[in-house]
Each structure stands twice: as C-alpha cells, then as structure tokens.
Amino acid sequence: MYDRLKGFRDFYPEEMSARRKVFDTVETTAARYGFREIGTPYLERTQMYVDKSGEEIVEELYAFEDKGGRNVTLNPELTPTVARMVVAKQQALSKPIKWVSTRPFWRYEQVQQGRFREFYQTNADIFGSSEPEADAEILAFAADALTDLGLTADDFEFRVSHRDILGGLLRSFDADVDVRDAVRAVDKSEKVEREEYLGLLSDAGLSYDQADEFADLLERGDLDEIAEFGGENVEAAVENLQNVLAAAEDFGAGEFCHVSLTTARGLDYYTGVVFECFDSTGEVSRAAFGGGRYDDLIESFGGQPTPAVGVGIGAAPLQLLCQRAGVWPEEELTTEYYILTVGDTRTVASRIARDLRAAGNVVEVDVSGRSFGAQMSYADSINAGTVVIVGERDLENGEVTIKDMESGDQTTAPVDDFPGDLDEPTYVDYE
C-alpha cells in the first residue's frame, strides 16, 4: 500500500458530487456576470514567481528542473499566469477582460484547517477598468456566488479595506517607515497579541506611541477621521473606497460589506481596494477567501499599463463556511434509474437505458452478471430513485416492472411504450 502525500487529498464520488455542485454554482454565477472561462497550464517558469515575490518564494513552491534543463514550478496561484496571458494578446483583447477559472494549485507550506498543499480555487478577474464599478462587480459576484449556495448575510461578511489608505496613513507620521513591512504587520494583526503587533509596527519604523495611534485609527475604521488625520496622503484612497462601497450597494452587495482597515492582504502586488470574506459567527476563524485590486502587475510583466481587480475563492475554506452554515450539499450519489436485468434481456434493457439517458437522466445497467438480489442491493447503494426490472417473464407479457425505491411500490408498464414520450417516467405514471 502507498500512503497519500501529506497535504494532498482524495475525493471519492460522494464527496465529488457535493464539490461539483458547489463548483457549478460558483461558475454559473460568474457566467451570469459575463466572466468567460479560460484554461491555463499547471506548470510555469519558476522565474516568473521569483520576479514577482523574490527568491524566498522558491521555498514555498513545488519547483524543479525539467528534462530540458528549465527551472519550472507547479502553479501556486493564478494571477501571474493570467497576467502573462493578458500581456501576450493585450492589443487583441476587448476591454474590459473578464476571465474565470477553477483549477488546482500547489504550495509547499504547513498543512492546517482549510489549507492544503494541493488546493482548488475559482479565480475571477477584470482587466482594463480602474472604475469603482469594477471592484464592486467583483464583490457583487462573490456575494451572489455565496447566496446562490444558500448562505445569507447572517453567515458571512466582506471586510473591505484599501492599501493606499494604509500607506498614506503611515506616511503621515513623522517617521522613516518601511511601508511594505508595516502593511505585513497589519496583515498579521488579528493573528498575534497587540504587543507583538505594535512591536512589528515599531520594527517597520514607527515609534511605539505612533504604532499605538496608528493601530487605534485602523481599529476604529472611521473614514472621516482617517481623511482628517491623513490629509492629502489618504484623501483619494478614502474617496475611492467610499465610491466602491456605494457601487457595491447599488449592485446588491452592500449589506455584506464592512469597512475593516486592518484587512491588508499580505501579497505585495495589491494596490487599492482589498477584501476578505469571513464567517460572521466567528466559528470559522480563517478567511474563506479574498481579493483586491492589482493595477501594476500587467505592466510589471512587460505589458501596457492595465488596471486589474479580482478574487480567488478557495474550495477548502469555502467548504468550512458552508458546512458551518449547514448549506454544504449532501455528499451522496444520485441516480435516476437502475435497469435491472433478469435472463437474456440485454437488447431491450439497453434500448430502455439509451432512451432514458437521451432524456438527460443518470442511468445504470448491470454489467457484472449479478443476481436479482445483488442488483437490488447495488441499486440501493447508488441511491437509484427508480428501478426498471427487465425480466424474461415480464417481456413474454410485453411488460417491464417499475419499482419506486423510496416507497417500495411497484407496477408494470408496456415495454414498447416505455419510456415513450416521458422524459422522467416513475411508478406514479403507471399505477
């Protein structure tokens, strides 16, 4: 026996049934917003991630040298790949570009609740618009995806912030602040004790008193107070955040959005509005997913300046949220019909199966030569709603037997008229 690798998971049919329903719901919601599906390679050049995040990123990657001597890695995220794709055909693509993709990614990191080394994520991005409506549409799509899954405003909230507000506030202090390190400290603020948080801000260049004042400003989250304190350093960012929130209100996502200036998102490429989705009850402690604006990335990849905003919805943390709220789909198999054969009845049984499948039903037929009892047990194990018994004796009478598996009731139907014009014939149609 071989053990499964740490941080990787197997999904058996019952689990995949639930996951597929969730993926389909999120993707269908994206399609309603006009996001177009793309397909991307699972392997990219390692240098693409080094250029974006520094040499230290390699420690977190499944990176290796391929047989051609190229340094490559399994994708840890999608954003650099879609940036590369935009740059490759930038002049030919109609703006705004709205893309969506659901696929696996890989990061060599510590395994914990809701975080694995192989993980699945739906990414939706808008390229080519710097307007607040683009940010708001990302928020609205994400909100609709969750409500389409059965979640409500009592279940989740979007904590919305703005990276330029953080940077502007930091520059408002009379201190030589490393903004990058300070923002990273803010991103850790809810994971560490306050004294450690203030220490990290002090390490970034603020005095202890300045760090304390900065932390208090963020925690209060009063945009008017922020604008007054930061002045010209934050005015444009505060106005942009307010405009995004106003647009989100018009788009139907306003009730889910809450200003949370301690939400920073750790990735360095974010440039404007950022947000994270959290369980409103606090039972799921980590963010279900997040996103934000990254206006400089396309240019850094050699393209023309192109504003961009997007969201990445992780399947594992989303599952935790849905399970906590009681809306995760049942992990069970679904089968409309099982065609049970007795004797030499393959020709008729196959014709019935083909007709039912042509109508869009999930249909199974015995392919193992099992006994009547074994076939009935199997039909029960796959949650067959209806069993159609095609036996030699019934066929001699020109009939098949229709059995409702929930009630146990059964009756007969003329074989030549089954399923006939009915797309989903059941016991009640012939009783």
Q: What residues form the annotated binding site?
A: 77-79, 107, 121, 125, 265, 269-270
Strands (E), 217-272: 257-259
What's the CA angle centered on 129, arms 221 and 293, to 5 degrees? 40
Binding residues for L-histidine: 77-79, 107, 121, 125, 265, 269-270
- Is residue 244 classed exposed, middle or buried when 0-12, 13-18 and 19+ CB atoms within 10 A define those classes? buried
- On the CB side of 269, CA atoms within 13 Å amount to 22
C-alpha to C-alpha distance for 44 and 74, rounded to whole angstroms: 7
Structure tokens at 257: 């959005």
- Closest by CA to 219, choosing from 204, 233, 205, 201, is 201
Residues with Cβ within 8 Å of 361's Cβ and at least 6 positions away in sequence, in order, are 336, 337, 423, 424
Question: 67: how many CB neighbours lie within 10 A of its CB?
Answer: 5
Peptide bond into 419 cis (omega under 30): yes
Residues with Cβ within 8 Å of 24's Cβ and at least 6 positions away in sequence, in order, are none
Which run of H or of E encompasses 400?
Answer: strand 399-404
- On the CB side of 304, CA atoms within 13 Å amount to 9
